[in-house]
Structure 1
Amino acid sequence: MPHRLHLETFGPVHALPILHYRLEFAQLVRQAVEHVKPDCIALELPPTLEAPFLRGVRRLPEISVLHYETAARAGRGETVYLLVEPADPLAEAARLALERAIPLRCVDVDTDSYPRHDEALPDPYAVQRLGLAPYYAEYRQAAAVPPGPEDRRRERGMAFRLQQLAKEYGRILFLCGMYHLERVKAEYGLPQAAPLERLRRSGVTLCNLHPDSCREVLGEFPFLSAVYELRRGPLPAEPADDSAGLRKRFSAFELVAGGKREVPEAEVLRRAIERSARHVGREGEFPDRQRCILRLFQEAARHYRQETGEPVHLWQKRAFFRFARNYALVNGMLLPDLFQLLAAARGCLDDNFAYAFWRLATCYPWQQVAADLPTITISPEELWGGARRIRFRPREKRHKGLSPLGFLKRKREKRPGEWLEGFDDPAVCSYPPEDVVIEEYGRFLKQKGALQLSEELSRTEPFTASLLDGIDLRETLRNLADGRIYVREQQRAKGGVGGVVVIFDDDRNNVKFPYRMTWLGEHDQESDMAFYATPPPDNVVGPGICRCEYGGFLLCYPPRRMMDVWHDPDYAFARSKAEVLLLAALDYSVEKHVVYVAARPPRSAFRLLAARLGKQIVYLPLGSLSPPKLKQLRVFHILHGHGKREIAADYIW
Structure 2
Amino acid sequence: MSRDPFGVAAWPWQRRGARVLPVVHGRLETARAVRAHLDALRPEAVVVEVPSALARPFLDAVARLPAISALRIGVPGSDPRWLLVEPTDGVVEAARWALEHDARVVCADLFDPDYPDHAEPLPDPAAIPEIGLAAWTRAILEARGPDEAGARDLRRETAIARAIDRERAAGRTTVAVVGLAHVPGVLEARAEAGVVPLPPARPPRDVAVLAVDTDCLVEILAEPPFVADAWERARDACESGGSRIPDPLGRPALFYELVRRAAERVEARGGSPPKLAERRVLHRFATRLALLRGRLCPDLYELVVAARGAVDDAFAKELVEVAGAWPHAAEDATAVRLSAADLGRDARLVRLRPRIDRLSGRRGLRQALARLGEMLEDRPSGICSHLPEDVVVEDLGARVRALGGRRAARGGARSVPFVASLLDGLDARETLRRWLVDGRPWVREERAVRAAVGAVVVIWDEDAGEPPRFPWCQVWHGEHVYESDMAFYATDPAAGVLAPGIHQAEYGGFLMIWPPWRLGDVWHDPAYAIARDRAERLIVAGLDYARAPLVALVAPRPPRAGLRALARRLGRRIVHVPLGTLPPDLLRRVRRFHVLADKRLRPIAAHLIDPP
Interval containing the TM-score (normalised by the shorter chain)? 0.7 to 0.9
Q: For 1:563 and 1:364, how far apart are their aligned partners in 2?
A: 47
Partner deviation per Cα, 1:583-603 (whole Å, 9 max, x = no partner): 5545765645331113x2226
Q: 1:577 aligns with which of 528, 531, 534?
A: 534
Paired with 2:274 and 2:587, the residues of 1 have a C-alpha distance of 12
Residue 504 (1) aligns with residue 460 (2): yes
**C-alpha separation between the residues in 2 aligned to 1:394 and 1:554?**
27
Cα separation, 2, equivalents of 1:146 and 1:357: 42
| Matched residue SS, 1:347 | helix
Mapping for residues 275-286 of structure 1, pairs under 5 Å: 284-285=246-247
Counterpart in 1 of 2:575? 617
**Residues 407 and 575 in structure 2, CA contact (< 8 A), matched pair in contact too:** no
Percent identity between matched residues is: 31
Residues in 2 aligned to 1:78 and 1:518: alpha-carbon distance in whole angstroms: 62
Q: Are residue 392 (structure 1) and residue 352 (structure 2) matched?
A: yes
Measured in 1, the distance between the counterparts of 2:247 and 2:305 equals 30
Q: 1:649 aligns with which of 581, 599, 603?
A: 599
Q: Which residue of 2 aligns with 1:450?
A: 405
Contact 2:511 2:542 in 1 (8 A): yes
Once residues 550 and 183 of structure 2 are traced to their aligned partners in structure 1, the CA distance between those partners, rounded to angstroms, is: 75
Distance across 2 between alignment mates of 1:531 and 1:567:
14
Aligned match of 1:383 in 337, 340, 343? 343
| Counterpart check, 1:358 vs 2:320 | yes
CA contact (8 A) 1:597 1:620 kept: yes
SS of 1:233's partner is helix
Q: Counterpart in 1 of 2:508?
A: 551
Match of 2:175 in 1: 173
Deviations 1:263-297 (A, max 9, x none): xxxxxxxxxxxxxxxxxxx9944633333323333
SS across alignment from 2:32: helix
Residue in structure 1 matched with residue 263 of structure 2 by the alignment: 301
Distance 1:629 1:390 in 2: 20
Q: Quote the offset at 1:67 in angstroms.
A: 4.8
Does the CA contact (< 8 Å) of 1:39 and 1:103 recur in 2?
yes
Q: Which moved more, 1:212-221 or 1:31-40?
A: 212-221
Separation in structure 2 between the aligned mates of residue 605 and residue 62 of structure 1, nearest angstrom = 62
Could you tell me which residue of structure 2 aligns to residue 331 of structure 1? 293
Instruction: Please state whether the residue corresponding to 2:134 is helix, strand or coil.
Output: helix
Give 1:234 shift: 5.0
Task: Deviation per CA, 1:550-573: give whole Å up to 9, x if none.
Answer: 42233455786989687768864x
**Match of residue 161 from structure 2:** 159
Shift of 1:347: 3.4
Deviation larger for 106-115 or 210-219: 106-115
In the alignment, which residue of structure 1 is the partner of 2:439? none
Q: Contact conserved, 1:107 with 1:157, CA < 8 A, in 2?
A: yes
CA positional deviation for 1:152 = 3.8
State whether structure 2 residue 31 is matched by structure 1 residue 22.
Answer: no
Q: Does 1:45 align with 2:50?
A: yes
Q: For the residues of structure 2 that align with 1:305 and 1:202, how far apart are their CA atoms?
A: 51
CA separation of 1:99 and 1:571: change in aligned 2, threshold 3 A: same
Unaligned runs of 5+ in 1: 237-281, 460-464, 469-488, 639-647
CA contact (8 A) 2:528 2:541 kept: no
**Match of 1:266?**
none
CA offsets, 1:332-369, max 9 Å, x none? 11222232233233333444333333333333344468
Cα displacement (A) at 1:526: 8.1
CA drift at 1:92: 0.9
Letter in 2 for 1:624: P
Pick closer, same or farther for the CA change 1:377–1:519 going to 2, 3 Å.
Answer: closer
Given that 2:158 and 2:191 are in contact with CA atoms closer than 8 Å, whether structure 1 keeps it comes out as no
TM-score, length of structure 1 as denominator length: 0.69
Superposed displacement of residue 93, structure 1: 0.8
Mark the CA change 1:579 to 1:45 in structure 2 (over 3 Å): closer, same or farther.
same
Deviations 1:245-268 (A, max 9, x none): xxxxxxxxxxxxxxxxxxxxxxxx
Q: Secondary structure at the match of 1:28?
A: helix
Residues 410, 50 of structure 1: alpha-carbon distance in 2 compared, 3 angstrom cutoff:
closer
Cα contact 1:498–1:591 (8 A) shared by 2: yes
User: Does the alignment pair 1:219 with 2:180?
Assistant: no
Inter-CA distance 144–387: structure 2 relative to 1 (3 Å threshold)? farther
Which whole-Å CA distance do the structure 1 matches of 2:383 and 2:216 have between them? Answer: 51
Cα deviations across residues 141-191 of structure 1 (Å, max 9, x unaligned)?
A: 33368342333443344334323322223532221222222343345xx67
How has the CA–CA distance of structure 1 residues 366 and 107 changed in structure 2, closer, same or farther, with 3 Å as cutoff? same
Counterpart code for 2:173: R
Aligned equivalent of 1:265: none
Q: How do 1:413-452 and structure 2 match up within 5 A?
A: 441-452=396-407
How far apart, in 1, do the equivalents of 2:158 and 2:486 lie?
A: 83
Kept in 2: contact 1:57–1:94 (CA 8 A): yes
Please list, as runs of the form range in 1=range in 2, the aligned pairs for 1:203-214 lying within 5 A after superposition. Answer: 203=205, 205-211=207-213, 213-214=216-217
- Structure 1 position 32, deviation (Å): 0.9
How do residues 246-325 of structure 1 correspond to structure 2 at under 5 angstroms? 284-285=246-247, 287-305=249-267, 309-325=271-287
Q: Aligned partners of 1:526 and 1:375: how far apart in 2?
A: 52
Matched, 1:58 2:16: no
- Measure, in 1, the Cα distance between the counterparts of 2:302 and 2:186: 36
Residues 552 and 14 of structure 1, relative CA distance in 2, 3 Å threshold: same
Tell me if structure 2 keeps the 8 A contact 1:22–1:89. yes
- The 3 A distance-change label for structure 1 pair 367 and 533 is closer
Question: Following the alignment from structure 2 to structure 1, what is the Cα–Cα distance between the partners of residues 142 and 497?
Answer: 67
When normalised by structure 2's length, the TM-score is: 0.73
1:213 & 1:302 partners in 2: Cα distance?
A: 24
Q: Post-superposition shift, 1:575?
A: 5.4
- Give yes or no for contact 1:228–1:286 (8 Å, CA) kept in 2: no
1:189-200 paired onto structure 2 within 5 Å? 192-193=192-193
Match of 2:40 among 35, 44, 51: 35
Cα distance in 2, alignment partners of residues 318 and 381 from structure 1: 34
Aligned position for 1:370: 332
Deviates more, 1:306-315 or 1:101-110: 306-315
Which amino acid in structure 1 is aligned with residue 131 of structure 2?
A: L
Contact in 2 for aligned 1:516/1:566 (Cα 8 Å): no
Higher mean C-alpha deviation, range 532-541 or range 172-181: 532-541
For residue 296 of structure 1, what is the amino acid of its counterpart?
L
Q: 1:606 to 1:324 in 2, by over 3 A?
A: farther
Residue type at the aligned position of 1:498: G
List aligned pairs for 1:234-245, cutoff 5 A: none
- CA-CA distance at 1:515 after TM superposition: 5.3
Alignment partner, residue 12 of structure 2: 8
Q: Can you list the C-alpha shifts for 1:224-246, whole angstroms capped at 9, x where unaligned?
A: 2233234322599xxxxxxxxxx
Q: Which amino acid aligns with 1:225?
A: A
Output the CA distance in 1 between the equivalents of 2:561 and 2:547: 21
CA change 1:609–1:27 in 2 (3 A) is: farther
Q: Distance in 2 between matches of 1:148 and 1:509?
A: 68
Pair 14,328 (structure 1): closer, same or farther in 2 beyond 3 Å: same
Counterpart amino acid of residue 219 in structure 2: E
Query: 1:524 and 1:160, CA in 2 relative to 1: closer, same or farther beyond 3 A?
Result: closer
**3-state SS of 1:597 partner:** strand
Asked if the contact 2:457–2:509 (Cα under 8 Å) also holds between the matched residues in 1, the reply is yes
Indicate how the Cα distance of structure 1 residues 609 and 79 shifts in structure 2: closer, same or farther if over 3 A, else same: same
Give the number of equivalent residue pairs: 553
Q: Structure 2: which 5+ residue stretches go unaligned?
A: 415-420, 425-444, 606-612
Deviation of 1:422 (Å): 9.4
CA shift at 1:98, angstroms?
Answer: 0.9
Cα gap change, 1:604 to 1:50, in 2 (>3 Å): same
Residue in 1 that maps onto 2:88: 87
Q: 1:553 to 1:410 in 2, by over 3 A?
A: farther
